[in-house]
Amino acid sequence: MPYYIGDVIRDEGTLIARTPEKFREAGIEVRLESTVTAIDVTQGRVRLTNGELLPYDVLVLATGAESRLPAWPGFDLPGVFLLKNLADAIRIKAHLNRSACRKAVVIGAGFIGMEMCEALRERGMETTVIHRGERPVARWDAEFAREIVAALERNGVAFLAGTELRGIEAGTSCPLKVMTSRGPIEADLVLVAVGIAPNVLLARDMGLRIGATGAIGVDAQQRTSAPNVYAVGDCCEVYHRVSSRWAYLPLGDTANKQGRLAGRIIGGRPAAHPGVVGAQSFKIFELETAATGLNEAEALQAGFDPIGDVYWGNAIAGYFGKRKLGLKLLADRASGKLLGAQAIGETGAVGRINTLSAALWSELTLDEIGWLDLAYAPPFGGAWDVIHRAAQRLQRKR
Amino acid sequence: MPYYIGDVIRDEGTLIARTPEKFREAGIEVRLESTVTAIDVTQGRVRLTNGELLPYDVLVLATGAESRLPAWPGFDLPGVFLLKNLADAIRIKAHLNRSACRKAVVIGAGFIGMEMCEALRERGMETTVIHRGERPVARWDAEFAREIVAALERNGVAFLAGTELRGIEAGTSCPLKVMTSRGPIEADLVLVAVGIAPNVLLARDMGLRIGATGAIGVDAQQRTSAPNVYAVGDCCEVYHRVSSRWAYLPLGDTANKQGRLAGRIIGGRPAAHPGVVGAQSFKIFELETAATGLNEAEALQAGFDPIGDVYWGNAIAGYFGKRKLGLKLLADRASGKLLGAQAIGETGAVGRINTLSAALWSELTLDEIGWLDLAYAPPFGGAWDVIHRAAQRLQRKR
C-alpha cells in the first residue's frame, strides 16, 4: 500500500492542486502535513514526527531538490522569496497583489531567475538581476549569453554581472535594500534563485549510496542501494548517454520519466531508463533558448577532445524573411560524433535542439547530420537548414 | 569544363535571378536559351538545336520535373497558368497586376495548389480549389486532411472535392469559365497544379536506366547507367531509408543534397548519399503541416505490417495555454520500429516531425521514442511531449 505525502495548495481560497484528492479518489491513502523523521530500511518502516510508524514493502523517495539558502543577513525579511514550488509562487503573487510593488531584484541568473524577469516585467515591475558570475545560464556559452543579456536589456531588465551580495536590509524609499558589491539597490520584492541542491537528508540517514554528484545513486530501474527503496526526480542522479556517466540534471521531464519507470518496475513490468542527453530550454522574452548534450567543459571532463563552432543563420528560408537563429555544435574531433548543441533565436531553436537530441541519442556524426532529411518548407527553414550548415561547417573544421 | 544551361529571370525589368552571372564570374561558360537535342554517351558529346556539338568529360543531368499538362480543351487560354518555376510566378504576378482579377480557380490540391490558395487569398482573390479526389495533399491521412480543408474554409477558400474537370472556356462575367462535373465556375485566373513528372526525355534517348518510379536510376554517388553521366534533382530517384527502396520524391532540399553530393564525387572526394526518410512540410494559413517516413499504403508496399494511431494533444504545456497539435505515428507491429509520422497544428508540427525524422534515420522504436530526452519548457511543450504520448499510446496498442 503506497503512501502519498504532499500539500494541498490554495490560491486565495481556491484549491488549485487537486493531486491529493485524485489519489484519494483512486483509493490511495494520502497523509498531508506529515513529516518523515527517519526510515528504517532493515525493518521497512517510516517514522513520522507524530511518532507513528508506517510499514512498507516498497518505498519511493521523491524528496526533490531544495533551493540553496544563502547565508546573508536579512534573508528572512518579509518580501524576500524563494521560488521552488507552487506555494512559493502563490506567496509571491499575493505579495505583488497586496503591496504597491514597483521594484524587484532577482538574485541569480539561472532558468528561474531568467523566467521570473519576464514574469515580473509583465507585471510592470522595474527589475534588476544581480549575478555573481559574468554570464547568465551557465549551460549556454558566451556567444549566446550575450544574446540573452541583450534580450533582458531590450525589455528593460537591468543585468548586473560580477556583482556580490552582501545582505538585505530594511530600505528607505522601498521596504527592502539589497546590499551589493556595487552599492545598495532598493526593492519591494527580492527573489532569491541561486540554484538548488538535491534533498538527500533522509537518504543519507538511511545509509543509501550517494553519487559523486551529491544526489542519490540509482540504477536503470531507479533502485537505490537499499532493498525495495527507489528514488525518482530531483533527489537522484540520471544516466547521461553522451558522457556515459551518471549526472545530476534536475529537470521536470526527467523527473516524470523516472517516476513512470519506477512505477513500471514496481508494478512488475520490465523496463530500463535509457538515460538522457541533457536537452533543456527556456523562453526569455522574444527568444527561444535551448541546449542539449554536453558543453565544452563537460565534454573535456568526459574524456572527449571537443571542437565547436557557432553558426548564425536564418530560421526560415532567406527569400521568405529573416529570423536570426544561432546554432553552436560541439563534436568529438577524432570520431566526428556530435557531443552537444546550443541554439537561440526568435523561433526554431527548440525544434532544432530536439532534432539534435534525437541525433545525439543515436550517436550520429557531423557528416550524417549534414545530410539529415528534414522537412523543408520556406516558412520553417531553408533547403539547407541551419542544422545542415552548422554540421557541414564544423565537419570541415575538424 | 562544365556548361550551365539556364534562364535569366527578369521581373518587370528587374533581374532577379543572377545565377548565370555568378557562374560567369566564377569563370564558368554559361549558355542561355540553348536547347539540347541529343546526347551521345559513346562519344561524350552534347548536341544543341543550333547544331553545335559540345564535348564533355563529365555530364550532369539536372532536367528536373515537368508540370503535368492536362488534355482538357481551353488549357491554352490566356489567364490559365502553370506554376513550376520563377518565370511562371512572375507571369502570374504580372497577370494579377494587369487585370482587375477577383476570382481564381486552383485545379489540384497538392503542395503547390495549397500554398497558392494562401497567396491568392492574401491578394484578396475569391479562391476555389477543384480536386478530383476526396482529400487534399495525399501524403496526409484523412484525420489531418480534414483539418487542412477546415483551414481553407475558415480562410474563405471553397474546396470542391470529387470534382472532375471538363475543360476551360471563355467566360461571360469573367474572362474564363472552368467546366466541371459540378457545373461551370467563372474566373479571372486559373492555376493548374495537377502534379509533376520527372523530365526523362533526354535520359531515355541516351538509353539511361530509368527506375521503376519513372525517374532516372542513380546510385549513391548520383551516377546513372552511362559512364561519367550523373543525374541530380527532380529528374532522378532517391534512396528511401525507411522502405529500403529507391523512390521518387521531388523536393527542393533533396535536390540540393544530390547536387552537393555529385559535386563532391566529380571533384574527387569520396561520399555516398545516405538517402532520405521522406520529411516534408507546408504552411496553410495558420497551420503548420509536416510529415515524414512512410504512410500506411507505402508501408504495406514495403512489406511492413503497419499499425497507426492519431494523438491529439497540446503543442505547449497545458498550464501555459492550448495550441492544438495532432500527431499520427505509424510503426511496424512486429519490431515496434517507427515507420512514419504526420503532424498538424498552429505551432510545433515541423519541430516534432524533424525530431521524428532523426529518429527514423536511426531506426528508433516506439519504446525508445517514448523515452526520448526533449527540451522541456512550458512555452514549447509539456513535460511529456506530444511525441512521448503518441509513441507510448501506439506502443500499448501493438
Residue with cell 488534355: B71
Is residue A295 classed as helix, strand or coil in its secondary structure? Answer: coil
| Global confidence as pTM | 0.94
Closest CA to A315 of A323, A307, A327: A323
Q: What residue has cell string 564544423?
A: A394
Q: Give A290's contacts in chain B (Cβ within 8 Å).
A: 375, 377, 380
Q: What is the pLDDT of residue B23?
A: 75
Q: Do A362 and B358 touch (CB under 8 A)?
A: yes
Burial class (CB in 10 A: 0-12, 13-18, 19+), B106: buried
Q: Which ipTM was obtained for this model?
A: 0.94
Q: What is the residue whose three cell numbers read 494562401?
A: B118
DSSP string, B35-87: -EEEEETTTTEEEETTS-EEE-SSEEE---EEEPPP--TTTTSTTEEE-SSHH
Q: Is B251 exposed, middle or buried (0-12, 13-18, 19+ CB in 10 A)?
A: buried
Question: Which residue type sits at B232?
Answer: V
| Spatial distance between the Cα atoms of B135 and B144, rounded to a whole number of angstroms | 9
Residue of B nearest to A378 (CA): B282
Give the CA-trace dihedral at A221, A225, A229, A231, to 10 degrees. Answer: -60
Contact A355 B350 (CB under 8 A): no
Give the minimum alpha-carbon distance from B24 to chain A in angstroms, rounded to a whole number. 23
Per-residue model confidence as pLDDT tens for chain B (398 residues) = 334 444 445 556 565 555 667 777 888 887 877 889 999 999 999 999 899 999 999 999 999 999 888 788 898 999 999 998 888 998 999 999 988 889 999 999 999 999 999 999 999 999 999 999 999 999 999 999 999 999 999 999 999 999 999 999 999 999 999 999 999 999 999 999 999 999 999 999 999 999 999 999 999 999 999 999 999 999 999 999 999 999 999 999 999 999 999 999 999 999 999 999 999 999 999 999 999 999 999 999 999 999 999 999 999 888 788 899 999 999 999 999 999 999 999 999 999 999 999 999 999 999 999 999 999 999 999 999 999 999 999 999 99
DSSP 3-state of A33: coil
Q: Are A346 and A300 in contact (CB under 8 A)?
A: no
Cα nearest neighbour of B271 on chain A: A367
Report all structural domains of chain A as residue ranges with CATH numbers, in order of start. Answer: 69-194 (3.50.50.60), 280-397 (3.50.50.60)
Closest-CA distance, B289 to chain A, in angstroms, reads 10
> What single DSSP character describes residue A337?
B
Task: With H, G, I as helix, E, B as strand and everything else as coil, classify residue A23.
Answer: helix
What pLDDT digit, counting tens, does each position of B285-339 carry? Answer: 999 999 999 999 999 999 999 999 999 999 988 878 889 999 999 999 999 999 9
Please tell me what DSSP assigns to residue A365: B
Compute the distance between CA of residue B340 and CA of residue A129 in angstroms, rounded to an integer.
Answer: 46
Closest by CA to B72, choosing from B104, B109, B108, B112, is: B108
Q: What is the DSSP string of B73-123?
A: TTTTSTTEEE-SSHHHHHHHHHHHHHS---EEEEE--SHHHHHHHHHHHHT
Residue of B346, B354, B392 to mutate when probing chain A, most A C-beta within 10 A: B354
8 Å CB contact between B340 and B280: no
**Cα torsion angle, B290, B293, B295, B297, sign:** positive
Contact yes or no for A281/A348 (Cβ under 8 A):
no
The alpha carbon dihedral of B178, B182, B183, B187 has a sign of: negative
Helical residues (DSSP H) of chain A, grouped into ranges: 19-25, 86-98, 111-122, 142-154, 201-205, 252-266, 296-301, 349-361, 366-369, 386-397
Q: Identify the CA nearest to A374 among candidates A384, A366, A365, A364.
A: A384
With beta carbons under 8 A apart, name residues in chain A contacting B384. Answer: 253, 256
pLDDT tens track for B128-168: 999 999 999 999 999 999 999 999 999 999 999 999 999 99
How many residue pairs bridge chain A and chain B with CB atoms within 8 Å of each other?
Answer: 159
Q: A283 and B380 in contact by Cβ < 8 A?
A: yes
